[in-house]
Chains A and B, each alone.
Chain A
Amino acid sequence: MDRKTGMRLGDVLKNFGTYLFTALFFFPIYWLLMASFVGLRDMVAHGFPLVPPSFTLESYRLFFKHPDVWNWLWNSIVVALVSTGISLVLSIPAAYALARLRFRGRELMGRLILFTYIVPSVLLLVPVFLVMTKLKLTNTLQGLILTHVTFSLPFCIWMLRGFFASIPSDLEDAGRVDGCSRLGVISRIVLPVSGPGIAAAATFTFTLSWQEYLFAFTLMSKQNMKTLPVAIAGFPAEVMDQVLWANMMASSVIATLPVFILFLYLEKYFVQGLTAGAVKG
């Protein structure tokens, strides 16, 4: 066997590995998708087959008949989007300061930031609930947004700090010599160059908020204030028949869609090496 076929064999194995892992990760999603298209009668007969005998949108129709469904969707979208926005607006300047400005306690602060994740979030459940009750923020979107931001902010700051620190400081100096103020440097140079970092921070926050269950469940007890994950999990208590399962599958597909679209849209920003060519080496 010569070198060339040896390399090819390596490629084949590598590709096989890639396919295998992709298949493993996508299987549950595939199954979920298929199950959501199974008609009620088929479900009684076959359970959840990998290839349904017939396709129907019955489950989706059932789901959208629920009187609160638009509220749930709206709640989820607003909470996730606003949490993401607030997280970015707060974490960008904080991360920049930690990465670039010289001030007392900068190192310590940079390190302590991730320590906020040491406490398991379950332990925070009761205190957060009590605080939100005191502030009269239970069953409000603001309350849940505030909670989600407190969870995403440290990670966003930490990640963006690393990203900003990796931008060559000469690039900023060039901007300052060319005529930018400090803020001008941030808006005209640092942010445009930080696309991948900001996209990653945004995706992280959005996904975290979109799928968060524990706090949404605790803080949002009113039926019309629930978010999608809480609502979906709440079906069993509400409708106790086989409709239940179909409903859960269809709603889960719908709940997955925005995140999926978000990833597709942001993918191009994750492209490595956006700063390539800025500096030598």
Chain B
Amino acid sequence: MARVVLENVTKRFGSVVAVNNASLEIKDKEFVVLVGPSGCGKSTTLRMIAGLEEISEGNIYIGDQLVNDIPPKDRDIAMVFQNYALYPHMDVYNNMAFGLKLRKVPKDEIDARVRQAAKMLGIEELLGRRPKALSGGQRQRVAVGRAIVREPQVFLMDEPLSNLDAKLRVQMRTELVKLHQRLQTTMIYVTHDQTEAMTMGDRIVVMKDAVIQQVGEPLEIYDNPDNVFVAGFIGSPAMNFMEARVGYDEGFYLEVDCHKLKVPPEVEARLASLGDYKDRKVIFGIRPEDIKDEPESFGEGCSINAVVDVTEPMGSEIYVYFTLGNAELVARVPATSGVKAGKSHPFSFNMNKLHVFDIETEKAIR
């Protein structure tokens, strides 16, 4: 059990910068999720923590120890790989016992630990099988089992669920969270799936183009994204964005396609620097659940009329797609709503939940 600290860590592969000046402090026993689109440097970050990639610049500490030059085997970490990486020439038991044997753990202790982990994961009856005789879900469990028998200081997991089918993925998600609660070990988990990040992490690290964009608790990030990328990446369906002009007429308003949407006084008070943007364009963001399919639900001056393009019934709710100016928007409305594709319909925006971003820097205006 240990904290993990990254200090201005950079990784270059030739001219490619895979991780750019990343700083991060992961607390002891914390479950941290690195999330971001493919190629943003998540795996590279994890592999540097594991010692599988050399660090170009910066420092990494595990516990209080600087580990820059310590080989993976001496870092006391365990890793679960995306494709499981089970040893094909060993049965499940030996796959799990391998790391312990190399560390000269006494035989009966190895046996006890392997059997306990197998029991915890429900794979006791598979111990004698080779990996090729296992299903995807079983292999995944063995890979997790191989990590937990080691009782390491830190668990590293690189997209461990991305090769499972949807149902199993959801199931394993909860199991891994439970496992973490039980083991109380620092866990660093990589995924490209924002739902996994939101549901599993104590804290989320959002990455893009080799740079850490924002670090925070899931809801903190969801409610207060630092920039357009984070706002759009976290949440499904994604946040709606449109260009708007900031105007003032006894209070600020956002003008979108000739509609004037009033900024409520509470929000105005929160956004100290909004005044600097008077008569300038900004990016206006609003989450799909903050759009209602009726006029004036959130008071005066928050409604528009738009023609519905498509409706997607999801069961408990409907995703309604419509166009406002040149922006494509989506609203999540109750399944009982009467919206019809092709018809004009009133919508109202919950302006208390609005997000505004600088159009140049794409940073949140606060």
A residues sitting closer than 8 Å to B (CB atoms) are: 168, 170-171, 173-181, 184, 189, 192-193, 273-281
Does B73 contact A281, Cβ atoms closer than 8 Å?
Answer: no
Chain A residues in 8 Å Cβ range of B99: 177-179
Q: Is the CB of A193 within 8 A of B88?
A: yes
Contact: B79 with A281, CB < 8 Å?
no
Partner pick for B84 among A180, A181, A189, A279, CB 8 A cutoff = A279
Interchain CA distance A184-B103 in the complex, whole Å: 13
CB contacts under 8 Å to A, within B227-271, are: none
Selected A-B contacts with CB under 8 Å, 30 pairs: A168-B83, A168-B85, A170-B81, A170-B85, A171-B85, A171-B88, A173-B52, A173-B79, A173-B85, A174-B86, A174-B146, A176-B72, A176-B73, A177-B50, A177-B52, A177-B99, A178-B73, A178-B78, A181-B71, A193-B88, A274-B88, A277-B86, A277-B130, A277-B132, A277-B139, A278-B85, A278-B131, A279-B83, A280-B163, A281-B163
For chain B, residues 129 to 186, give those with C-beta under 8 angstroms from any C-beta of chain A. Answer: 130-134, 136, 139, 146, 150, 163
Residues of B in contact with A (beta carbons under 8 Å apart)? 47, 50-52, 71-73, 77-79, 81-89, 98-99, 102-103, 130-134, 136, 139, 146, 150, 163
Known contacts A273-B132, A276-B132, A277-B133: A174-B163 contact under CB 8 Å? no
Q: Which residues of A contact B85 (CB under 8 A)?
A: 168, 170-171, 173-174, 278-279
Whether the Cβ atoms of B77 and A177 lie closer than 8 Å is: yes
Q: Which residue of B78, B81, B134, B163 contacts A277 across the interface (Cβ within 8 Å)?
A: B134
Instruction: Tally the A-B contacts, defined by beta carbons under 8 Å.
Output: 95
Which of A176, A177, A274 has the most chain B CB atoms inside 10 A of its CB? Answer: A177
- B88 close to A174 (CB less than 8 A): no
- Quick one: closest A residue to B104, CB to CB? A179
Measured CB to CB, the nearest residue on chain A to B130 is: A277
Which residues of A lie under 8 Å from residue B84 when comparing CB positions? 278-280
A168 to B47, CA, bound (A): 16
Measured CA separation A278–B103 after assembly (Å): 23
Residue of B nearest to A171 (CB): B85
Complex Cα distance A281/B84, Å?
11
Instruction: Chain A residues near B132: list those with CB within 8 A.
Output: 273, 276-278
Residues of A within 8 A of B79 (CB): 173-174, 177
Task: Point out the residues of chain A lying under 8 angstroms from B139, CB to CB.
Answer: 277, 280
Interface-centre pick from A179, A189, A274 (highest chain B CB count, 10 A): A179
